């Protein structure tokens, strides 16, 4: 069957507006489309392809497990899930893991656990969830309501209640909002969709202290920031603040759909048998690939390499900006970077992304004003240089079209 980009419009619900080309093959940080044109991938499947495309060790893990066992359901456990859970808890603050298929599902589990924990320990009045404006936690109705972007949650009828939002990095506003009725605070330790916003150290520490004061759980959504993306295995490790619950997905599977919620034994005990579940969660195929991805990423040379690659990106982006003056700043950490547009180019991030695609570079946006890069953590330096040469041509095209 011959399919093209036009087929999308015929057969797919129109909630996406994909690029005109259709990728068919990838290797490392390079992708080829139906016409054989080659692209450099700075998008990483939205911070998912942590080791690029078709990494030989991930292909090996997938093939090996694919010949053994694909799916069981959680009526039975399986070896890859148990190994992955052991490695995640060994490498983090956590003592217990729960597996799902995506970041949204991991966040859904975290929120349900927090509510159940508070109900069991303190009664039904302790139900408030606080999150942050411009935050993003997924597209289920619960997670999209907790996410601080009304455009994503409006228009679907009555929303889940007892959810409040305040501005990220505004500790005074947060302190005024939290109380003994707060059961949980959900935050990204580096806001992704909201514009690649780093937290101030005093803000993160203050949030932790106020959660402790009011017996509220601190949930870190590390779906985008986790698994080496910032140069630490998880971003919380570089902030000196430990959450009570952490969610992880995206890079965890290296391209295979998987999510996990990590927590302590005492908190996790409140998800008693039957209180939550997932048919596919923890399936052996996904867990085998995720285990291999985690093994590779959680090595000093890979994590240290992330910060060296960030420095190279920043050096070249600075030179591009000196020439064309389009960015106010380059935000983010590690291989999660955002080029924030200056006043002259406000609202035009998508124009830069489209221009980049035209120059055979795949990149992303984070809102209307930020061009986002989330490439493989092991992208070769020559691919960074060539990709940014293409990006410079894209920037020139947008500027010269004025």
CB 345 within 8 A of CB 328: no
Q: Quick check: is 221 catalytic?
A: yes
Report the distance separating Cα 107 and Cα 104, nearest Å: 5
Report the distance separating Cα 161 and Cα 163, nearest Å: 6
Phi (first) and psi of residue 64, to 5 degrees:
-60, -50
Report the distance separating Cα 188 and Cα 236, nearest Å: 10
Q: Quick check: is 212 catalytic?
A: no
Q: How many Cα atoms are found within 13 Å in the side-chain-facing hemisphere of 146?
A: 26
Phi (first) and psi of residue 17, to 5 degrees:
-135, 75
Radius of gyration of the chain (CA): 21
CB 222 within 8 A of CB 246: yes
> Is residue 44 within a helix (H) or strand (E), and if so which, with residue range?
helix 44-47
Report the distance separating Cα 162 and Cα 153, nearest Å: 15
Report the distance separating Cα 29 and Cα 41, nearest Å: 5
- 236 token code pair: 């919380």
Q: Quick check: is 90 catalytic?
A: no
Q: Where are the alpha helices (DSSP H) in 274-380?
A: 284-297, 300-324, 349-358
Among residues 221, 232, 244, 383, the one annotated as catalytic is 221
Contacts of 353 (CB under 8 A, 6+ apart): 363, 364, 365, 371
Among residues 42, 99, 136, 352, the one annotated as catalytic is 136
> Is residue 27 within a helix (H) or strand (E), and if so which, with residue range?
strand 23-27
Among residues 41, 132, 232, 250, the one annotated as catalytic is 250
Q: Measure CA 221 to chain center.
A: 8
CB 25 within 8 A of CB 36: no
Report the distance separating Cα 60 and Cα 288, nearest Å: 10
Catalytic positions, written as ranges:
136, 221, 250
């Amino acid at each position: 069957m011959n399919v093209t980009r036009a087929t999308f419009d015929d057969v797919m619900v129109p909630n996406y507006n994909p690029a005109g080309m259709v990728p068919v093959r990838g290797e490392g940080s390079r992708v080829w489309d139906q016409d054989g044109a080659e692209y450099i991938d700075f998008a990483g499947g939205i911070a998912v392809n942590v080791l690029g495309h078709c990494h030989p060790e991930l292909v090996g893990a997938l093939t090996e497990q694919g010949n053994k066992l694909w799916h069981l359901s959680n009526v039975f456990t399986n070896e890859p899930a148990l190994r992955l859970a052991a490695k995640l808890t060994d490498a983090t603050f956590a003592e217990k893991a729960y597996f799902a298929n995506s970041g949204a599902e991991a966040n859904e589990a975290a929120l349900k656990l927090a509510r159940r924990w508070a109900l069991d320990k303190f009664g039904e009045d302790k139900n408030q969830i606080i999150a942050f404006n411009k935050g993003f936690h997924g597209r289920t109705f619960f997670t999209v309501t907790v996410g601080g972007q009304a455009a994503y949650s409006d228009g679907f009828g009555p929303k889940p209640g007892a959810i409040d939002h305040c501005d990220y990095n505004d500790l005074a506003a947060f302190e005024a909002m939290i109380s003994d009725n707060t059961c949980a605070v959900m935050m990204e330790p580096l806001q992704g969709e909201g514009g690649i916003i780093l937290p101030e150290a005093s803000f993160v520490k203050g949030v932790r202290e106020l959660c402790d004061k009011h017996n509220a759980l601190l949930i870190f959504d590390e779906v985008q920031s986790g698994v080496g993306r910032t140069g630490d295995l998880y971003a919380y490790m570089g902030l000196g603040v430990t959450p009570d619950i952490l969610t992880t997905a995206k890079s965890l599977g290296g391209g295979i759909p998987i999510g996990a919620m990590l927590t302590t034994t005492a908190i996790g005990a409140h998800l008693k048998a039957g209180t939550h579940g997932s048919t596919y969660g923890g399936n052996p195929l996904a867990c085998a690939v995720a285990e291999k991805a985690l093994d590779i990423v959680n090595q000093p040379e890979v994590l240290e390499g992330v910060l060296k690659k960030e420095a190279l990106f920043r050096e070249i982006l600075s030179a591009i900006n000196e020439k064309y003056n389009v960015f106010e700043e380059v935000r983010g950490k590690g291989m999660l970077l955002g080029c924030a547009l200056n006043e002259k180019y406000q609202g035009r991030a998508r124009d830069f992304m489209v221009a980049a695609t035209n120059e055979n570079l795949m990149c992303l946006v984070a809102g209307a004003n930020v061009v986002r890069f989330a490439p493989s953590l092991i992208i070769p330096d020559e691919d960074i240089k060539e990709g940014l040469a293409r990006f410079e041509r894209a920037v020139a095209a947008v500027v010269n079209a004025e």
